[in-house]
Structure 1
Amino acid sequence: MTEAEFEDLLQRYLDGTSQPGERELIEQWSNQLGEPENFVLPPTEREQVRAAMWRQIEHLTQGRSGNGPTDHTLTGKELHHSTSFWRMPVVRWLAAALLILGVALAVVLPQTWKSTLAPSTMAVEWTQHHNKGKKTELLTLSDGSRVTLFPGSSLHYRPGLIGSRREVRLQGEAFFQVAKNPDRPFLVYTDQLVTTVLGTSFRVKAYAGRKNEVAVQEGRVSVQLRRGADLSATPVQPATEGVILLPNQQVMYSALTPRPLRKQLVQNPVVLVPQTFTFDKQPVSKVLQALEKAYGVELVYDEAKVANCTITITFYQESESLYDRLDVLSKALGASYSLADNARILFHSDGCTP
């Protein structure tokens, strides 16, 4: 059973459209939620998961009893000592929903599922690789993809990356160099995002309690919120609610401050197409166009205002960043610039005297 099939099974249960036998299967599993043997999270992270689950349960149940929202939120410690918490039917029901939201993905299926499911839908055990060292580790997957796994990070994947999609789960940070295969997209799941590629290089950060980040080095990737993600989407046929990232672009998302996904420039854009940065009495627009091409960025400016502006300037140091060069250009022209959504840079100039 793939992750997508498992989430579909839970969604049908919540929608009341379960097929024969599915409802009993979900309820059998939900009755065992909270038992220690069903958790793979270390104790230090369990409290965070329980607290996050309780916040979501409060959100989902507000107004259903007619009493309005409560003023008291249980802490992780209080939840830990509440022996009746995991026994409440509404909690077990909502815990299943929380899996769809990606909050409690560390809960594993009980062994009893294996005897209940038909052979064609039996869950395939996932392999976990955890980097316990102080240096990065390089993993080579069965399809030839390479993953640089950072210290303290874990990667989960099925042996042979079986299935119509090559799927992995990440906790922590990793740099992916994905082997190209247009027929089998490569998906990286974090607790909040789904990143889909056909073959390219990108970095993903997904540490517990922090923002999820995806940054692209080359090629293009599709990023969606994990909840409600269209798993059939690709960078060629992207999802409506997702974003497409190109080199030097990134997306950041936090469930604590949810907002639509917006791509932005990475902190230090690198040169993608080498350019000659020596200009002798050249139009400023030509300098801006050279920067756009070199870094793959979109510089937005008023062409009419800079039409009469020329400049003699040379950018020497290879260590100079894009922003260093924009600082020098802005100072020479009495101009300024600012970062904008959609990975754009706005260049502000009042023009030049002819």
Structure 2
Amino acid sequence: MKPPQLKKLIDRYLKNNVTDKERQLVDEWYQSYEGDKNALSAEKEARLKKEIYRHVKGQIDTPSAKIRWLNITRYAAAAVTILLISVGLLFRKKAAEHSNKEAYTIIKTGTGQVRKLQLPDGSTVWLNAMSSIRVSEDFENKTFRNIYLDEGEAFFEVKKNPARPFLVITRNITTRVLGTSFNVKAYNKLNNATVTVRTGRVQVNDKQRQLAVLLPDQKIIYSIKDHTSIMVTGDGGKSKAWTDGQTILNQASFKELALAFKSLYGVQLTSKNKLTTSYKYNVTISSSHTVDQAMKIICSVHQNTFRRKNNEVIIY
């Protein structure tokens, strides 16, 4: 890469007109120097020159090994000059990007906590235990009412506004509505994400395509590993039961059962019985139940026994 080419690369970078590979090359130089780069000390400038020189040397490809070092020396020295001229622009560009980052209000819940939230548009959100959502501080002025469910489970009652679609965005799927009530479950520890509609109609997409349009009492189960989904009939009314302290598990895996138990009581549920990984659980646990009462209900499903040890409950 000759100096004129390198200068063009920097110019295109500043105009955001580069490939991912080219962006990575420039970003590597930048990311090596986090902090305030607007006023470089002599020591920092020397370090920067050395680092840029190292990267430029690695990128230059000349056909003749005999003359490689001379060409590298000349090109690298010129490149350092070009980059130092551009470095102030790069730093200002990064600073501007940082200052333009959107500000969010983050709401989290702990073990056994359920929170009811009122959004600025009149929509209502119930946030289940061990969950986290983000809402833009400029939510009222956005064309799209985006809510980020970063972890956990939430039930939404959305105020209808056709001009401003309401989107619930998780790590793997996005649910889009105009006005409806529905439940989204997307705990990062689970293999699946689910959306269940209580009223209205929603559209569910993953990062590649539309998965389904759901009507009341319909549910989609999305496999995070395989990126596949199935649509089943579900009781939309029961999808909200946890907001009233009733955790209803239907054909739940042991992993899902253990997560629900952890969310309710903050206690780790494990098993010494290898068969538990193949079991499915149909069980309802009330938040009013003690740990021992809940475990008696759970163990009655497959005739297991349990033992408590400190902050752990073991199924046998």
TM-score (norm 1): 0.41
- Please tell me whether Structure 1 or Structure 2 has the larger radius of gyration of its CA atoms: 2
The structure carrying a bigger helix percent of its residues is: 2
TM-score (norm 2): 0.46
The structure carrying a bigger strand percent of its residues is: 2
